[in-house]
Amino acid sequence: MHVAVAGNIGAGKTTLTKLLSKHYGWEPHFEDVVDNPYLDDFYNQMERWSFNLQIYFLNSRYRQILEIRDTGKNIIQDRTIYEDAYIFAPNLHAMGLMTNRDFSNYSGLFELMERLVQPPDLLIYLRSSIPNLVNQIHKRGREYENTISIDYLSRLHERYEAWSQSYEKGKLLIVDVDHLDFVDNPEDLGTIINKIDAEINGLF
């Protein structure tokens, strides 16, 4: 089984992926932010490094998907390949931070990859307000995220909302995280787990 956690920057994807991995015994696959050679440069000079960063993420995510398919294990994935292609890259293009030429090249490559991509059995979308995202980003204190603007987060949020409303590739569970503390409150984590159990049981 393949479960994926989606959501804006600071929504809590990595934290929830770790907690669910521990609870269910699923193998976690995380987004590569530690060894990503482009992130620092991108947040300092978005227009120059946007295409490089998106290609890096596309490569990394596609590799993950092939590994997931080949292992046959129960996997939980932190962020999906769809978020790169339907949210982050189009947002950079719309903001004038990725050229038409680069966006066309990127989109063509994704379309080729998508033919071989199996969507997750269950997609969990962590919905969060902008103030909550900003609070979480400041709390975790990643230096390269200090330059992220409210406008950038807001644009991503709009695209996440539109994408989640039109998502038809598989089962979708939307979790509003503004008033949930699944890190320090076991009851809140339990609420999410109960919702996931209901969705998983419906898969079989």
Show which residues are catalytic: 78
**Is 28:76 a contact under the CB 8 Å cutoff?**
yes
Nearest CA to 13 among 34, 28, 35? 28
The Cα 80–Cα 57 span in angstroms is 10
**Is 11:136 a contact under the CB 8 Å cutoff?**
yes
Query: DSSP of 7-27, one letter per residue?
Result: ESTTSSHHHHHHHHHHHHTPE
Residues β-bridged to residue 166: none
Nearest CA to 2 among 169, 114, 164, 126? 169
Residues β-bridged to residue 6: 125
CA atoms within 13 A on the CB side of 11: 24
